[in-house]
Each structure stands twice: as C-alpha cells, then as structure tokens.
Amino acid sequence: MNRPQDPSDDAALERALDAALARALLAPALPAGFRQQLRAAVARAGDTSATRAQRLAAAEREHAAQLAELRSGYVRLRQRTLGTLIGAAFAAGLLLNFALPWLKAHYGERGVYALPAIGAAIGLALSLRAWWQRSSFARLLS
C-alpha cells in the first residue's frame, strides 16, 4: 500500500534537491590569463577585423596607388629623355656653330669631318656597350 505523497514533503524534497544542486554545480571560474590569451589571439589575428569587402577595397586602393606611381615615373622618364634629347641637339648645334669655323681654319677642309667622326665613334661605342650589357644580362637570367 502506497501512502499518498504529502505535497509539503514534495516541496521539501524539491528544496533539498535545489540546495544540493546549487552546491554541486558551482559556476566554473575563468582560467587564469584568459583575457591575456584572448588579447594575444586578437593581436595575432591582426587586421582580420576588417570585413572581406573592406580588405578588398584596401587592396584595390593599394594597387591603384602603385599603378599611379609607376605611370607618373614613366611619364617623368619620358619627359626627361625628351628634354635631354632636345638639349643635346641644341648644344650640338651650338658647338658645331663655333667648332666648324675653327676646325676649318686650323685643319683645312678635312678638319670639318673630324668632329662628326668623333661624335659618331662615341655614339657607336655607347650603343655597343649597351647592347653587350643587355645580352649578358639576358644570359644571366636564362
């Protein structure tokens, strides 16, 4: 014969269970150094806090800046080369204007060809040197 359970007994049992569970299931404390480890992990993650779109935009900006720098360098190089060529042509004209009468007076009619011959020899030497360097560099790469 089962004796009907007294509701007050049930309530007391519930209270006893609750107290026992509260003692058995204590909240675990955070491990020592948890925050420091988290900070280190976050630092290691670096700029990954940015979204994929933000990272893509940053990479595109960097690429565009590099391209613009390359272009401006190329334009500067072309302008410098053009300036050098024009300057050299005028300087050569000026030199010839003074040198030819002097050469003619001292070395006769043949003396007129001496200056262009020297210029042509220097130009050829420079050109040959450049070609030689280029070909040896190509050999090194291969």
Partner 1 sequence: MQQSALSEAGQRDLDIVELLRGGRNEAAFERLAERYERKVYRLCCSIMRDPDQAADAAQESLLRVWKALPDFDERASLSTWIYTITRNRCLTALERRREHESMSDPAVEQAAEAAGAARGASAGPAEPAPDQLALLRGLVDALPEHYRRALTLFYYEERSVADVAAMLGQPEGTIKTHLHRARALLLERVRALGLGDVKHWLEESA
Specify the residue, 38 or 82, whose C-beta has the smaller distance to partner 1.
38
Longest dimension (CA), the chain: 150
Give least dist CB 57 to partner 1, A.
12
13/82 with CB nearer partner 1 = 13
Shortest distance, position 52 Cβ to partner 1, whole Å: 9
Q: What are phi and psi of 15, to 5 degrees?
A: -65, -40
**Shortest separation between residue 65's beta carbon and partner 1, angstroms:** 22
- Nearer to partner 1 by Cβ, of 16 and 89: the residue is 16
CA distances from 19 to 22, 78, 114 (A): 5, 87, 116
Residue 4 or residue 108: which is nearer to partner 1 going by CB? 4
Between 22 and 138, CB nearer to partner 1: 22
**141 token code pair:** 């790469």
Q: Rounded to an integer, what distance in angstroms lies between the CA atom of residue 69 and that of residue 63? A: 10
CB of 9 to partner 1, least distance (A): 8
Cα separation, 112 vs 103, whole angstroms: 6
| CB 1 to partner 1: min, Å | 18
Tokens of 22: 């509260």
DSSP 25: S
Residues that bind partner 1 (CB under 8 A): 9, 12-14, 16-28, 30-31, 34-35, 37-38, 41-42, 45, 48-51, 54
Amino acid identity of 58? A
